Structure 1
Amino acid sequence: MADQRRPSSGSGGGDRRREGQGRGRPAGASSGSSAGRGRADDRRGARGEDRKGPRGDDRKGPRADDRRGPRADDRRGARSDDRRGGDRRAPRTERERPVDQATYDGPPLPEDVTGKELDRSVAAQLRGLPEKLAARVARHLAAAGMLIDEDPETAYRHTLAARARASRIAVVREATGEAAYAAGHYAEALAELRAAKRMNGATAYLPIMADCHRALGQPEQAIKLAKSPSVANFAPEPKAEMTIVEAGARRDLGQLDAALRTLELAPLNNKSRGSWVVRLRYAYADTLEAAGRATDALEWFHRTHAIDADELTDAADRAAALEARSQG
């Protein structure tokens, strides 16, 4: 699931999902997802604090104070303290409650979304939940998958609702992280994908995590992830994604020559017309232009356009702009 995400083209900044790279689908697109512990923790916090707060303190307080002062004063003090709140922990405000409830409820679920749209491997991870709970989580994840391209923010809210119900399931945290990434919530995406990785040990999230570091202004961390030993064993597509992110991080640091070397070690001449080759070539052309090598950049924009049947990039426009500039 995570390997379907599309990190940035490697250019030096801005929207990490630009350049026609596409968003792919989060785990929720073909899976189900669970959003945080917020509601459960809030319930434990409020009730637990109330139980041991005022009553327990009131029972202990008068006896200790009796030794020091008049009982009447103690009663007056206790009553006035109760009116002001005393040691009682202030309950959540009316403004806070709807936010928590809204997150837990999530956006409205389309009636035609049943949860059966999820991939079997994802649905299998939800089987440990009670039946009704699993069905609700699955529906939120399926809805997120359907919306991820056209409305990533709503998709993200669906995954938060799923996470609120099943935060200990890795695929739920994965879906939440990928939807957060698509919606541009990079810190949240990084936290969720780290949680998923701790749960299942998967390394497929590394390119997205590295790109999140770039978006957060942490290119050194992106490069560190790109050098992870597991990357050497990646399949061609996720390896290409990581190469693109690493080259972008080098550019963020002003290391254009290092960015070019990183891309030149990738299979730029691969005969595949897959989207990953398109993005590799585009990133290389873009970096060549940034390095002032306009002639070489023009060649690679043309080579990108030649295999970009789905128009994932604006390579044709970039080539035309370079040609017009050279003629002018």
Structure 2
Amino acid sequence: MGNQDYSKRSDRPRRSDRPAEHRGGRRHERGDHKDRSSRPKDKRHHAQRGGQDRDRKFSRPQRSGFREERINNRQNDPDLPGDIDVRDLDPMVLQDLKVLSKDNAHTVAQHLIMAATLMQDDPQLALRHARAAKDRAGRVAVVRETAGIAAYHAGEWKEAVSELRAARRMSAGPGLVAVMADAERGLGRPQKAIEIANEVNPDQLDSDTRVELAIVSAGARMDLGQKESALVTLQRVNPDRRASGLTAARLSYAYADVLLANGDATAAKEWFQVAVEQDIDEHTDARARVEELNADNEA
């Protein structure tokens, strides 16, 4: 944050729509919006239990002024268009929201849809919608997850880490670990990003997430001046000239970038060209990088 697209509609942001470039400090969320495969089967139990605890009359005492703050927060919620159809949400998300009252679940669902829809074009407004959803359903993992992704897009790195960690605790799975690690990079803590990557069992991750995490880890190594280690990190996920799709293009691009940093301009140019061929929609600037290297050779 990719990043989450819980909608069934094709016009929502999807993970494959978000390139991961680590050049010149630019980082884009790699779109964990649609991938829920890392979530364990018992996740819904945790969400339900949290919702039940919240609704019990004998819940823990709240600090003075808490209720008033919540009311004020809701008065400042961003407006919701009247034509939002909550059935656009992924059925699994709608199921998660059933721990809430019917009216509250409906409003939360609307805010989630708006957060996903606006995340690319207006990340600040998307974050406001995500915060509004969190204020109403802070014990639902998918809501905290969305808040974390929205904060990531808006450049609120500390908030992103906090929300994604909360979601990870609730779901008991690896969570959006690549986004969390990259947010640590955004906070200027590359070593922490590496630690997060090393905490995760790779067997718990799907292939795309493993690639995303490797790209972030390599970027963190580069931040620390560890160019050779960055190269080894990417080699472990096997860049493949024959692979296709945006994930493959992102990996080829990152590999080329690190090769160039290690002084191998010839190999870097070859891999940037591979990225050009894999990135048919030109989400990356691989073509421009090839042209730059050609110009350097001619100079």
Tell me the residue number matched to 1:287: 258
Residues 104 and 217 of structure 1: is their aligned pair in 2 closer, same or farther, counting only changes over 3 Å? farther
Q: Secondary structure at the match of 1:127?
A: helix
Unaligned ranges ≥5, structure 1? 28-36, 49-91
Tell me the residue number matched to 1:151: 122
Tell me the residue number matched to 1:262: 233
With 300-309 and 103-112 compared, the bigger mean Cα shift is at 103-112
Shift of 1:267: 2.1
Aligned equivalents of 1:229 and 1:161: distance in 2?
Answer: 30
Aligned equivalents of 1:115 and 1:291: distance in 2?
Answer: 50
1:127 correspondence with 2:98 = yes
After superposition, residues 1-328 of structure 1 pair within 5 angstroms as 4=15, 6=18, 8-11=20-23, 14-17=25-28, 23=31, 25=33, 45-46=64-65, 101=72, 105-269=76-240, 271-328=242-299
Residues 180 and 229 of structure 1: is their aligned pair in 2 closer, same or farther, counting only changes over 3 Å? closer
Aligned equivalents of 1:267 and 1:151: distance in 2?
Answer: 35
Tell me the residue number matched to 2:11: none
Unaligned ranges ≥5, structure 2? 5-14, 36-53, 55-59
Shift of 1:22: 6.0
Residues 26 and 104 of structure 1: is their aligned pair in 2 closer, same or farther, counting only changes over 3 Å? farther
Larger Rg over CA atoms:
1
Residues 196 and 314 of structure 1: is their aligned pair in 2 closer, same or farther, counting only changes over 3 Å? same
Residues 47 and 165 of structure 1: is their aligned pair in 2 closer, same or farther, counting only changes over 3 Å? closer
Say if 1:186 and 1:215, in contact at 8 Å, map to a contact too.
yes
Shift of 1:162: 0.7
Residues 272 and 197 of structure 1: is their aligned pair in 2 closer, same or farther, counting only changes over 3 Å? same
Aligned length: 263
Say if 1:23 and 1:182, in contact at 8 Å, map to a contact too.
no
Shift of 1:104: 5.3
Q: Secondary structure at the match of 1:313?
A: coil
Which residue identity does 1:137 align to in structure 2?
Answer: V
Residues 105 and 251 of structure 1: is their aligned pair in 2 closer, same or farther, counting only changes over 3 Å? same
Say if 2:20 and 2:30, in contact at 8 Å, map to a contact too.
no
Which residue identity does 1:193 align to in structure 2?
Answer: L
Which residue identity does 1:133 align to in structure 2?
Answer: N
Say if 1:251 and 1:259, in contact at 8 Å, map to a contact too.
yes
| C-alpha RMSD of the superposition | 2.7
Q: Could you list the per-position Cα deviations for residues 230-261 of structure 1 after superposition, in whole angstroms to 9, with x for gaps in the alignment?
A: 22442210000000001001000000011111
Q: Secondary structure at the match of 1:243?
A: helix
